Amino acid sequence: MKRLTNKRAIVTGAAQGIGLAIARSFVAEGACVALVDINARRGHEATEELANLGAEVCFIEVDVADSKAVDAMMAEAAKRLGPPNVLVNNAGVAVFRDPLEMAVEDWRHCFTIDLDGAWHCSRAVLPHLLKHGQGDIINIASVHASQIIPKCFPYPVAKHAVVGLTRALAIEYADRGIRVNAISPGYIGTEIVENVFASASDPEKLREETNALHPVKRIGRPEEVACTAVFLASDEARFLTAQNIVIDGGRSILFHQ
């Protein structure tokens, strides 16, 4: 039997990058998956890709910052795939600003997506999980949730809060069969990161320098984050909750470079 047989998962930010890798890995392990994203074109393309492989999937367009839209999305996912028992809060945005020059709108944009979005989706899925006495919420945080990198404000503040949300919900519902965990990726070779390399004056030099920052001498791959999400959503992780698993090739452990 596949590891996620009988799992009905919702993955936000699933149109590309880590979210798409998680959706691919989930269906490969037997899950039904609702791919959720604000980008309708890419979301439909990703869903079509998985459906052509024989997966039971659907796409729902939603802005996770809109709580009413999230409620409607959750109802639609339950109608199309059955009551969800796994939620992956992956949708997010990186906002990097100078603290004193940052507009209020930038602060709000960061938090309404990175934190409020995770809460809106969690609040909407919890009644389904509680009704069946089991389920998993997996929040995609970041190494920014534990290690501060200059010139990245206020993104680390939001990601610290995502880990706080993870721990608080985990303890609140631990005795009711609900597990809540976080994954904190470091440098991962998503399309966004590849675009950063490509935009550099010397792309290969930047790539080599970035690889060299890591004890394993490379950056991570989206599917490596997805493997951890599969584990957390599976019955193999029954005694694991309120945790934040860092996936960064050992980078954040270094004291001095």
Strand order in the sheet with 135-140: 57-61, 32-37, 8-12, 86-89, 135-140, 178-185, 244-247
Q: Is the pLDDT score of 257 beyond 70?
A: no
84: nearest Cα among 118, 40, 139, 126 = 126
Percent of the chain with pLDDT over 70: 100
Burial class (CB in 10 A: 0-12, 13-18, 19+), 155: buried
Res 141: pLDDT: 98
**SS3 of 180, please?**
strand
Predicted TM-score (pTM) of this structure: 0.96
Burial class (CB in 10 A: 0-12, 13-18, 19+), 224: middle
The predicted-structure confidence for 107-152, as pLDDT tens digits, reads as follows: 999 999 999 999 999 999 999 999 999 999 999 999 999 999 999 9
Contact present, 32 and 82 (Cβ < 8 Å) = yes
The predicted-structure confidence for 169-196, as pLDDT tens digits, reads as follows: 999 999 999 999 999 999 999 998 999 8
CA-CA distance, 37 to 19, in Å (whole number)? Answer: 9
The predicted-structure confidence for 151-162, as pLDDT tens digits, reads as follows: 999 999 999 999
The predicted-structure confidence for 24-42, as pLDDT tens digits, reads as follows: 999 999 999 999 999 999 9
Q: Report the mean per-residue pLDDT for the chain.
A: 97
Res 59: pLDDT: 98
Q: Which residues are catalytic?
A: 155
The predicted-structure confidence for 68-107, as pLDDT tens digits, reads as follows: 999 999 999 999 999 999 999 999 999 999 999 999 999 9
All domains in the chain, ordered by first residue:
8-185+222-245 (3.40.50.720), 190-219 (no CATH)
**SS3 of 193, please?**
helix
Contact present, 37 and 238 (Cβ < 8 Å) = no
